[in-house]
Amino acid sequence: MDKFVIRGGNRLKGQVAIDGAKNAALPIMAAALLAEGPCDISRVPALADITAMSDLLGELGASVEHADGRMRIEVRDESNSHAQYERVRKMRASICVLGPLLAKRGQARVSMPGGCAIGARPVDLHLRGLRALGAQIELDNGDIVAKARRLRGTSLFLGGPFGSTVLGTANVMSAATLAEGRTVIESAACEPEIEDLADFLNAMGAKIRGAGTPRVTIDGVEKLAGCPHEVIPDRIEAGTFMVAAALTNGEVTLTNARLDHLMAVVDKLREIGVNVEPSAGGAVVSSARRLEPTDVTTQPYPGFPTDLQAQLMTLLCLADGNSVITEKIFPDRFMHVAELLRMGADIRKEGPTAIVTGVRRLIGAPVMASDLRASAALVLAGLVARGTTEILRVYHIDRGYERIEQRLNALGADIQRVSE
C-alpha cells in the first residue's frame, strides 16, 4: 500500500492540463452496453475507478481496450447480466450498468454498490425511476434484480431529500433510450456530466432533449449504434488545482478547463481573494497573500459541488477569520476534519455544518485518507504545511486523479510516493 510524503512550503507555478472527467466517463462507459457496434471514447483518464468499470464491463461481455486516453468498447456477448459484488463494491458508479442492462438485455442483476465512506447514498430513486418505466424489481441476497420485456415511456419525478440524483438520472435516461414511447424526467440532475452522457447517447442514435435542465425528454428508439465521443474536462480536478494554486500563493495555468462548468466555484474563490482569469481553453489562477473568510453551502449543480467541499475547507483553514461550510448533499461528509485538526487547523463541526477559524499555518503530520476528495484535501494541506506530511491510504486519490503527485511536482511541489 502506497503513501505520500510531502514536504510543504513550495510555491506552485506553471501549466497543467486537466484530464477528462471521471464522473462523465463512468456513466458513458456503462451506456456503451446499449450499443450495437464499437464505441470509441477519447480523453478517458487512467484511474482506478476506470479500471474497475472496465473489468466490470468485461465480465458483462464487452471488450474494452484503453491506452493513451483512448478507449474502445464493443459488446460481444450478452449472456451475462450479473454485476457481482466483488466488482461493484469498489465504487458506487457501478450502479450505472443497471439501466443499460435492463433496457438492452431485458434483465439485470446488480449488487448494491459501494464506494467512499461519505454517508448513506441509497439507490431508491434509481429503482423508483426504472419501476415507473415498467421494470419488475426485487432485492435478493444483496442484489438488485430487475426484469422487463421492454420498457415503456412515462412521466416520472426523480427528486429526493438532498435534491436530484446524478447517477439515478443517468440510469433512467440511459434505460429510456430504448423504451417504447416518450419518457419525461422531472427534477433531473443538471450536472455537465449528465449533459455529456446525453450527447454520447444522441450520437448513438438516441433522441434526448433538455439534458442539463430539470426536465429531460427521451423518445425511445429501436436500437443504438456505436459512435465516437470525447469526454468533457473534469471540473472537480480543475477546482482542486485552482485551490492548490491559491493555497501556495502560486500562479498556475489550467488548460482544457471549462470555467462555464465552474461558475459557483470561481465566484466563491474570487470572493475569498483568489484571482481566476479566463485564458484560451482554460484559466490562470493566482492568489493574494490575504485570504478572506466566507460562507458556502454545497448544492446540486449549478451550486457549489460537494466534491470540492473538502478542498475548499483546506483553503479556508488559512483565511483571515471565521468561515462556515454547510453540507447539503452528504451531511456526514466531514471525515477529513479530524485529519486537518491533526495538522493544526481550527474546525468545529456541528451537524451538517463546519465552522472554520483561520490559522497562521498548518503543520505537517501523519494523516489518513478516508475517501477520494478528502485525500485531495489532505494533499493540498500538505503542500502548504510547515514540515513533512505523510498521507496513508492514497489508493483513494488514485480513484479520481491520474498521477497527481507527478503533475504537482511538475508545478514545483515536493511529493514522493512511497510503498509501505
Catalytic residue flag (residue 227): no
Residue ending a domain, choose from 215, 230, 245: 230
Confidence of residue 88 (pLDDT cuts 50, 70, 90): confident
Catalytic residue among 39, 116, 190, 227: 116
DSSP letter at 19? P
Mean pLDDT, range 336-362, rounded to an integer: 97
Report CA torsion sign: 142, 27, 176, 149. Answer: negative
Looking at residue 114, what is its pLDDT?
57
Mean pLDDT, range 272-280, rounded to an integer: 96
> Is 106 in the same domain as 14?
no
Among 118-132, 341-355, 381-395, the minimum mean pLDDT is found in 118-132
What count of Cα atoms within 13 Å lies in the side-chain half-sphere of residue 88?
19
Mean pLDDT, range 8-26, rounded to an integer: 97
Domain housing 385: 2-19+233-419
Residue with cell 463541526: 349
User: Can you tell me the distance from the alpha carbon of 122 to that of 384, in angstroms, rounded to the nearest whole number?
Assistant: 37
> Is 221 in the same domain as 357?
no
> Is 333 in the same domain as 205?
no
> Is 248 in the same domain as 104?
no
Grid cell listed for 224: 443504438
Mean pLDDT, range 280-307, rounded to an integer: 94
CATH code, domain with 373? 3.65.10.10
Q: Is the pLDDT of residue 79 over 50?
A: yes
Tens-place pLDDT, residues 180-228: 999 999 999 999 999 999 999 999 999 999 999 999 999 999 999 999 9
> Is 187 in the same domain as 286?
no
> Is 211 in the same domain as 352?
no
User: Can you tell me the distance from the alpha carbon of 173 to that of 100, in angstroms, rounded to the nearest whole number?
Assistant: 9
DSSP H helical ranges for 219-330: 235-247, 263-272, 309-316
User: Can you tell me the distance from the alpha carbon of 27 to that of 23, in angstroms, rounded to the nearest whole number?
Assistant: 7
> Is 307 in the same domain as 174?
no
Q: Is the pLDDT of residue 63 over 90?
A: yes
- Within 204-321, strands assigned E span 207-209, 215-219, 224-225, 228-230, 251-255, 274-279, 282-287, 295-297
Looking at residue 118, what is its pLDDT?
39
pTM: 0.95
- DSSP, collapsed to helix, strand or coil, labels residue 76 as coil
Confidence of residue 328 (pLDDT cuts 50, 70, 90): very high
Residue ending a domain, choose from 201, 230, 259: 230
> Is 33 in the same domain as 10?
no
Looking at residue 122, what is its pLDDT?
67
User: Can you tell me the distance from the alpha carbon of 129 to that of 188, in angstroms, rounded to the nearest whole number?
Assistant: 11
